[in-house]
Amino acid sequence: MWAFPEVKTVADIVRYNAKHYADRPATQFMGYSISWAEMDEKSSKLANAMRAAGVVARDRVLFYGGNSDDYFITIYACAKLNAAFIPMNWRLAAAEAAVILDDAEPALAIVQDSFASLWEKASQSNSRNIPVVAMQAGKQDSNPLWQWFADADSSDPRAYCQPDDTAWQIYTSGTTGVPKGVEMVHGGIMNMRLCEHLEPAYTWGPEDRYLFCVPSFHLLGLGLSMQAMYNGAAIVIATQFDPTEVLQLINEQKPTLAGVAPVMLQFLLDHPETDNTDFSCVREIMYAGSPISMGLLKRAMEKIPCKFMQFYGSTESGGAITLLRPDDHDLSNEKRLTSCGKPLPLIDIRIVDGDGNVLGANQPGEMLIKLPSIAKSYWRKAKAWDEVYSDGWYKSGDVGYFDEDGYFYIVDRAKDMIVTGGENVYSTEVENCLSLHPDIAASAVIGVPSEKWGEEVKALVIPRPGSTPSADEIINYCKENLANYKCPKSVEFVEDFPRTGAGKVSKKDLRAPYWEGQQRGIG
């Protein structure tokens, strides 16, 4: 049943590949290649250096850096120590990052030089003295991180690791705006690899090269990278999603696989160098993270002659829940292309009403998911976890339905989450920020259609009596307190909001005029 029975933890991935594909590349970054044997050695050295610095099993290690080979060295080093790897969202404002530092209490932080000033601001209010190791991505032997572990023991520490030990702790904001650390365990991560191995649509192998160009703190990139590495594939790393760099890597490094958010596809197709790019090396593109328009999907399928596969999932699920497989990407069946597909093997989905009754075909309700890769909990927020997971079923918070052929469609988000350019934005978090503005009496934040981002953030604002704030003033205020992608792209001033019988703001009614005739869902 298992593709590689001896691979039981994240650390076993690098151990197995070093044994079977020693001289093959594990990563390719900024002109520098690291073989699987070298990845195994470097991650062991880093693990032993971290242990000498006081990191022990079940500690947290925070990685405050972008896409690089150091990212993967750190992932495997943490796994070899049985320490939890925390990829910090480097797009957060310092005040937002500080909240995560206070919650995570990392035993060590690896901080990229370009984020040093943000780190200093974020850690100022933290009462703990978090040890920091500097990093300069792409500098190889002059990299302070590599110098730090250069003289460390190269033997594998092989810390004992149980299936329910936390491998990764990825932070996601809740509907209250309070960050929650999703604890993804070794057993769950391996179970997701099992679901993928049993799925015929996945045909990834050691001859493949996966293009890693999404932000390092996203499960979209981390999960697909681990799937690629689990199967022996090399990772071609872009420093960030820059269309020029990505197109250059496609021409020069010839990746065979790529994972992107729909907005990235649009940027690539709109770039002037697209016509000079040879896409013939790419055999499959995975896309996820936000709605995709029919026009964009058609353009991509016509321009890039490869297979396309969509997945719907969440951080809590550990990866993909459903797949819209390559064979389902039929331009003559537009209805099917709006589906998120069917579940992977070993995954079940129920559609239920407000009372928990199971619904039939074409009856929208909340999607409940049972899967073997589910996270362990929210770090230090067990009550919040109990609210979304009970009796073996994960409450997705998404409203959807399935058709007569078993394809699932997502029609709404029960918790008013906005997905813009692949980033999750929670309306209450933005509303909390707006509530502190002295000229705003009340606000409601919604997602509205965007050709570029899929959705974009819009704020509807009731000014305080006698105040006349401008839209630009409000947007700039948000930029001072929130990550840029969370800030409203537009502001509309209103006298009141539509409300439910209980007096709550009816966001469904607020959104309706903007989404008339369009589908709002998750790609």
362 CB neighbour count, 10 Å cutoff:
11
The length of the chain, given as a count of residues: 523
Cβ(280)–Cβ(212) under 8 Å? Answer: no
357 CB neighbour count, 10 Å cutoff:
11
Closest CA to 325 of 300, 344, 298, 299: 344
d(CA 442, CA 464): 8
Which amino acid does the sequence have at 502? A
Cβ(207)–Cβ(415) under 8 Å? Answer: no
Cβ(93)–Cβ(482) under 8 Å? Answer: yes
Structure tokens at 414: 């029960």
Q: Do strands 348-352 and 365-370 pair parallel, antiparallel, or not at all (unpaired)?
A: antiparallel
| Phi-psi category of residue 317: left, alpha or beta, with phi > 0 → left and psi -120 to 50 → alpha | alpha
Backbone phi and psi for residue 168, each to the nearest 5 degrees, phi listed first: -130, 140
Reduced to 3 states (helix: H, G, I; strand: E, B; else coil), residue 499 is strand
pLDDT at 11: 98
d(CA 35, CA 162): 28
Structure tokens at 70: 């150091």
Sign of the Cα torsion 361, 391, 194, 314 reads positive
d(CA 360, CA 351): 8
CATH architecture of 417-515: 2-Layer Sandwich (3.30)
pLDDT at 518: 67
Reduced to 3 states (helix: H, G, I; strand: E, B; else coil), residue 110 is strand
- Per-position DSSP letters for 57-78, written without gaps between them: TT-EEEEE--SSHHHHHHHHHH
Closest CA to 482 of 521, 520, 445, 441: 445
Structure tokens at 373: 């890769």
d(CA 405, CA 419): 27
397 CB neighbour count, 10 Å cutoff:
17
pLDDT at 175: 42
d(CA 65, CA 89): 8
Cβ(226)–Cβ(216) under 8 Å? Answer: no
Q: Where are the beta strands (DSSP E) in 296-426?
A: 307-314, 319-324, 342-343, 348-352, 365-370, 377-378, 389-390, 393-402, 408-413, 417-420, 423-426
Per-residue pLDDT of the chain (523 residues; tens, 9 = 90+): 899 999 999 999 999 999 999 999 999 999 999 999 999 999 999 999 999 999 999 999 999 999 999 999 999 999 999 999 999 999 888 988 999 999 999 999 999 999 999 999 999 988 788 999 999 999 988 999 999 999 999 999 999 999 999 999 999 864 445 789 999 999 999 999 999 999 999 999 999 999 999 999 988 889 999 999 999 999 999 999 999 999 999 999 999 999 998 888 988 999 999 999 999 999 999 998 766 767 788 889 999 999 999 999 999 999 999 999 999 999 888 889 889 999 999 999 999 998 999 999 999 899 999 999 999 999 999 999 999 999 999 999 888 899 999 999 987 666 677 888 888 787 878 887 898 899 998 899 999 999 888 899 999 999 988 999 999 999 999 999 999 999 999 999 999 998 754 456 888 889 889 987 665 543 3
Backbone phi and psi for residue 240, each to the nearest 5 degrees, phi listed first: -165, 175
DSSP character at residue 274: G
Which amino acid does the sequence have at 22? A
Q: Which residues pair with 211 in a beta bridge?
A: 236, 258
